[in-house]
Amino acid sequence: MRALPTITKNLLIINVLVFLATIVAQSYGIDLTRYLGLHFFLADDFNIVQLITYMFMHGGFAHIFFNMFAVWMFGRILEQVWGPKRFLFYYLVCGIGAGIIQEAVQYIHYESVLSAYDSVNTGYSVIPMKEYLNMMTTVGASGAIYAILLAFGMLFPNQPMFIFPLPFPIKAKYFVIGYALIELYSGFANNPGDNVAHFAHLGGMVFGFILIMYWRKTNNGNGHYYN
């Protein structure tokens, strides 16, 4: 931890502490997701602060492990290049942007499918629409993580990366493009059993791209490509 830049280290610590607090709270019958997860903005449980707090909530060990692994692997490099203030700004703005895109996608789904009904059949029971809207909750740092991946690919486009199970390295720019295409396909595939917020991932990348291009256009530091 000592070798890690300040923001990267603190992001890892805060996420792990919140994850552990979630587990402890559950043992006392308290669901922190109800308060800190990002609810659909038409739901009673929605709070604007959730656009920030949802980034520090995770749905399980694998979820937080892979997200924090990406923060450790790529975030520390970006922080060293950009400095702590810019890296934190980028992380938070992209995470918030991902949440906004997720809200927009949920609203489109609500208007096109749900708004005509007073209740919803979940497959287990029929519940009132009001209760169902409170169940539309998003958690995780993945939107910000995908923005970090995008930034790494844009700053170091030709950096070779070894991706399991490929037996050969691929350039970072192709790695990022491939991830974006997978998320785009998965988002439109609309698999009923898929509880992943694919458009939130893409939203983080979109906001990240806009920020990086703006910084390059204004020549406001690190507006270069790196190898």
Q: Which residues of 85-111 are buried (b: 16+ CB within 10 A; e: fewer)?
A: ebbbebbebbbbbbbbbbbebbeeebe
Residue 224 included in any domain? no
Q: Mean pLDDT throughout 126-142?
A: 93
Domain encompassing residue 109: 6-217
Residue 44 included in any domain? yes
CA nearest neighbour of 199 among 122, 105, 67, 128: 105
Residue 197 included in any domain? yes
**Tens digits of per-residue pLDDT, 96-119?**
999 999 999 999 989 998 888 889
Going from the C-alpha of 112 to that of each of 43, 105, 193, the distances in angstroms are 17, 11, 20
| C-alpha–C-alpha distance, residues 115 and 78, integer Å | 43
Q: Mean pLDDT throughout 166-178?
A: 87
| C-alpha–C-alpha distance, residues 69 and 75, integer Å | 9
Please state the φ and ψ torsions of residue 127, each to the nearest 5 degrees.
-125, 155
| C-alpha–C-alpha distance, residues 214 and 106, integer Å | 28
The pLDDT value recorded for residue 220 is 57
Residue 172 included in any domain? yes
Residue 225 included in any domain? no
**Tens digits of per-residue pLDDT, 173-221?**
998 998 889 888 888 887 656 678 899 999 999 999 999 999 999 875 5
114 or 80, which is more confident? 80
CATH code, 67? 1.20.1540.10
Residue 1 included in any domain? no
Asked if the peptide bond before residue 160 counts as cis, ω within 30 degrees of 0, the response is: no
Q: How many domains does the chain have?
A: 1
The pLDDT value recorded for residue 91 is 98
Model confidence, pTM: 0.90
CA nearest neighbour of 145 among 47, 25, 12, 30: 12
Residue 227 included in any domain? no
Residue 222 included in any domain? no
